[in-house]
Amino acid sequence: MTFGESIQTCFSKYADFSGRASRSEYWWWVLFVFLVTVATGIVSDKLSALLSLAVMLPGLAVGARRLHDIDKSGWLQLLYFIPLLGWAILVYWAIQEGKEPNRF
């Protein structure tokens, strides 16, 4: 999946928590959000905050779909609330290949 396809897919599945997301779809989305957040942060803090709110739901959705691809529940994103350890676990899972077959 290319950068543009990934962004288009994530916005078209804005609040779709079902299904699966490939590694490329997830990581292109993460890069897009990072770059746009940095760019809007340079322009205005308020604009950056608005952007963060706008991409929060699709970010959670693509994260849940990515976890589904490795046969894990999307609820495991709650590990982000555990500093360092939770983040490290989720990044480790996000770089793994998808599992076949899985329940999602």
Q: What is the pLDDT of residue 48?
A: 93
Query: Does 83 score more than 80 pLDDT?
Result: yes
Compute the CA torsion angle 97, 11, 84, 95 (nearest 10 deg).
10
The percent of residues above 90 in pLDDT, for the chain, comes to 92
Single out the residue of 73, 100, 94 nearest to residue 18, CA to CA: 73
Q: What is the pTM of this model?
A: 0.88
pLDDT range class, residue 19, cuts 50, 70, 90: very high
Query: Does 64 score more than 80 pLDDT?
Result: yes
Across the chain, what does the average pLDDT equal?
A: 93
Q: What is the pLDDT of residue 104?
A: 74
pLDDT range class, residue 45, cuts 50, 70, 90: very high
